[in-house]
Structure 1
Amino acid sequence: MERQITLIALFAALIAVLGLVPKFTLASGIPITAQGMGIMLCGTVLGARRGALAVLLFLGLVALGLPLLAGGRGGLGVFAGPTVGFLIGWPIAAFVTGWITGQMRNTPVFLAALIASIIGGILVPYIPGILGMTAMLDMSLTQATVSMAPFIPGDLIKAGLAAALTASLYKARPASVLSRA
């Protein structure tokens, strides 16, 4: 039990550290950050339940006002901005990513983590993210969807890095990748 709590806290901290990578904000108001890769890693390494709990812990700390989001943002105000949909989608994304990784036990770890990261870590958070943008930025669904196109190449790179890190960890310490245990 203590190990599980420690891992959840560690991965919440990982998401926060990835927010220190300088952000780049597009015209839509949505920043490009490395934190999406942290969400993917929560799922591919910790598994569905623990990955989602790590993201919820991180979001709880953000809601309390800690400036853990990229660019030093935090507090309840971020849940009323253009990124609210993504913030809501992150725990779901970590859960789905972990669930897919766990279901693909007969697939090599890199490929399973890559597929899980693309589906769970990119597609899943885009749904509430786009809906949040339509609500907060007064955009049409088409406008919000099209505005996400510049993010796709970077998200695919993050998915590849998350898969490579997960596969490397699995090779070094198989029992550490809880999504495959």
Structure 2
Amino acid sequence: MGWTSIATVSSRKDTETYPFVNIISFSDGPLGNGTGIPYMFLTPLDFTAQDVFKDDRATLMMTLAQGRYCESKNYDPMDPRCARVVFSGKIKEVKENNPEYPIAKSAIFGRHPWLAHMPKDHHFFFAKLKIGTIAVLDTFGGPKYVTLDDYLQPPKSDR
């Protein structure tokens, strides 16, 4: 899964302060060796970047409905067993002088190589979600909240 839905606070005059949702490509690094931090490649010409320039709060939601898992189990995308994770936090630009820049660049272009060829005059930039809260819904009974420490440093398996 290389894309996610992202919700921001709209900055457009016709929908100012309303929630706004968009689809973006994202990556946390190479498959099987990700950092857990969602990186993205944004342009000021798009809704998402325009919104986060005014209010950097955002929510990303990924779901197993984005692949074939839920369909193979006959789960409706709204079925809680069709797991989803919701990350809320703040979108922060990753500038070239930031030590994290090569990580963001490698994460994005490693999974989305075509993005390296976006028009220069569109002023794309790397950004990340500075995660504040994480909620997981994977069964009936409501969401579970995961601490950032547990998310970034999960327990080692004995297997």
Higher helix share: 1
Higher strand share: 2
Is the pair's TM-score, using the shorter chain for normalization, greater than 0.5? no
TM-score by length of 1: 0.29
TM-score by length of 2: 0.31
